[in-house]
Chain A
């Protein structure tokens, strides 16, 4: 089946930039997403990008998509302690099943 891979942990210092990477295998992906999960809560959609785009910026968040290499990244500028959470990469194709494929999540730890 289709797969989404991401590293499990990332540690950064407050004020630095964080970059979380993801690779996927489904060449028919239509949408790619980043979800954020804070402790004790469900996932929340953070941002997304269409597969025909290569970059999207939203305040401190920058999403880069390299469709040729099937590589997605999320950059968080000026990382704050409140950004500490688990970040999930996900993809969805237009095949009609509406079942996204999630990565295992990257735990971002921000040190003061």
Chain B
């Protein structure tokens, strides 16, 4: 499973509050990704990282920020959560072989 964990696994928060989701990997992979999954939209890339302090935006980055101060941790922050950010969030890493991705178990976030 490439040693990927996500925390928390479930969270309910109120509109306007800040939220930080954590992705942790144990195998020193360089590339890490944050996706959101919504019915009818499949997976959409929010942000990704190609090294410590090196990050870039994906297709749905508005309202989200990320940080990577250590190889093993990639944090996703919603500065002021909105109901449209209710979703399931997945972290992934890039494998070493065929550019495949390994996914974490997901975080279900509900913004009320």
Contact = CB atoms under 8 A, between A and B. Distances in A.
Interface of A: 1, 30-31, 33, 40-45, 48, 50, 88, 92, 98-100, 102-105
Contacts, number: 48
B99 A45 contact: no
Contacts of A30: 99
Contact of A98 (B42, B99, B103, B104): B99
Given A99-B48, A104-B40, A42 B104 contact: yes
Top 5 closest pairs, chain A to chain B, by CB: A42-B103, A104-B42, A102-B43, A43-B103, A92-B99
Given A43-B90, A88-B43, A105-B42, A100 B105 contact: no
B103 A44 contact: yes
B64 interface: no
Interface of B: 31, 33, 40-43, 45, 48, 50, 58-59, 90, 92, 94, 98-106
10 contacts: A31-B100, A42-B104, A42-B106, A43-B90, A45-B102, A88-B43, A92-B99, A99-B45, A99-B58, A104-B41
Contacts of B45: 99
B42 A45 contact: no
A104 B94 CA distance: 20
B101 A100 contact: yes
Contacts of B99: 30-31, 92, 98, 100
